């Protein structure tokens, strides 16, 4: 199975539409999230414009550790790239959402409309930043080999990936702490999502949440070392991936 290398069509870009509304008017409607595995949820659009002091500690830590030429993958409104610039660091934001890229450009950023897995995104980056459950961009566990091969292409010698994720095991834990998950089924961190903003409906997409143990196992299989840099407040963590 190969990974998708395309970008979104503007009429199927609900998060981008929400980001654009919020940027141009200072408010936005509800950005709704649907999944076959969970109840309907919402992403607070103002939160996509968070500044450094408003960011969770894991994200602040990632921005402190990021250095050299930084690739901000799935950059959204550009919040992390803007915070990095204020810190005097050099970041390139990339996203598959045409409307988000339009907003980032309006915010003065040299944003690229490109998929992480598209070979036209080339360069040697000292830091590849993937934040807000950044492992999601991998999509499914079976894409993880393609992901590590892609990181080998994009990382400069001595470079690293800084990625946050969550272990979804708490969704499957019984009251006594035992873990009830069907081992014959797909990996429990694979989630399907669909978003909607006003009348803009996106296509369904896969989003990978990965526990640190599974991430380290695959990392070593593909020649990387995974370190847990910091744990968050609820089964979430920041990982650093470096080539061995």
Binding residues for ligand SAH, rule: CB under 6 A, are 15, 48, 73-76, 79, 94-97, 100, 115-117, 131-132, 137
* Rounded-to-integer distance, Cα 209 and Cα 62, Å: 18
Smallest separation, CB 181 to ligand SAH (Å): 26
Smallest separation, CB 15 to ligand SAH (Å): 6
Helix axes 14-25, 98-106, angle to 10 degrees: 30
| Dihedral over Cα of 46, 51, 56, 59: its sign | positive
* Rounded-to-integer distance, Cα 97 and Cα 13, Å: 6
Rg (CA), the chain: 17
Backbone φ, ψ for residue 27 (5° rounding)? -150, 165
Structure tokens at 195: 């978003």
Q: How many beta carbons lie within 10 A of that of residue 220, not counting itself?
A: 12
Rounded to 5°, angle at Cα 177 from 175 and 179 = 105
* Rounded-to-integer distance, Cα 40 and Cα 216, Å: 31
Give the residue with the Cβ less far from ligand SAH, 30 or 225.
30
| Dihedral over Cα of 164, 91, 154, 5: its sign | positive
Smallest separation, CB 216 to ligand SAH (Å): 23
Backbone φ, ψ for residue 199 (5° rounding)? -100, 10
Q: Residue 106 forms beta bridges with which residues? A: none
- Which residue of the chain is nearest ligand SAH when measured via CB? 74
Smallest separation, CB 185 to ligand SAH (Å): 24
Structure tokens at 39: 């109840």
Give the residue with the Cβ less far from ligand SAH, 137 or 219.
137
């Amino acid at each position: 199975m190969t990974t998708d290398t395309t970008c979104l069509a503007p009429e199927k870009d609900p998060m981008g539409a929400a980001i654009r509304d919020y940027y141009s008017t200072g408010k936005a409607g509800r950005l709704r999230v649907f999944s076959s595995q969970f109840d309907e949820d919402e992403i607070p659009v103002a939160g996509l414009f968070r500044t450094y002091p408003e960011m969770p500690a894991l994200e602040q830590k990632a921005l402190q550790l990021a250095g050299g030429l930084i690739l901000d993958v799935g950059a959204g409104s550009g919040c992390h790239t803007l915070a990095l610039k204020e810190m005097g660091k050099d970041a390139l934001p990339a996203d598959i959402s045409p409307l988000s890229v339009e907003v980032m450009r309006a915010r003065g950023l040299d944003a690229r409309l490109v998929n992480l897995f598209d070979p036209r995104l080339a360069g040697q980056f000292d830091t590849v930043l993937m934040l807000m459950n950044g492992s999601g961009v991998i999509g499914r566990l079976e894409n993880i080999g393609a992901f590590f091969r892609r990181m080998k292409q994009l990382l400069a010698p001595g470079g690293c990936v800084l990625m946050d994720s969550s272990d979804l095991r708490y969704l499957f834990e019984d009251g006594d702490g035992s873990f009830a998950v069907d081992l014959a089924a797909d990996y429990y961190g694979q989630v399907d999502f669909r978003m909607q903003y006003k009348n803009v409906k996106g296509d369904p997409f896969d989003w990978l949440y990965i526990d640190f143990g599974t991430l380290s196992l695959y990392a070593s299989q593909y020649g990387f070392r995974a370190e847990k840099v910091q744990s968050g407040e609820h089964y979430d963590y920041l990982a650093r991936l470096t080539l061995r």
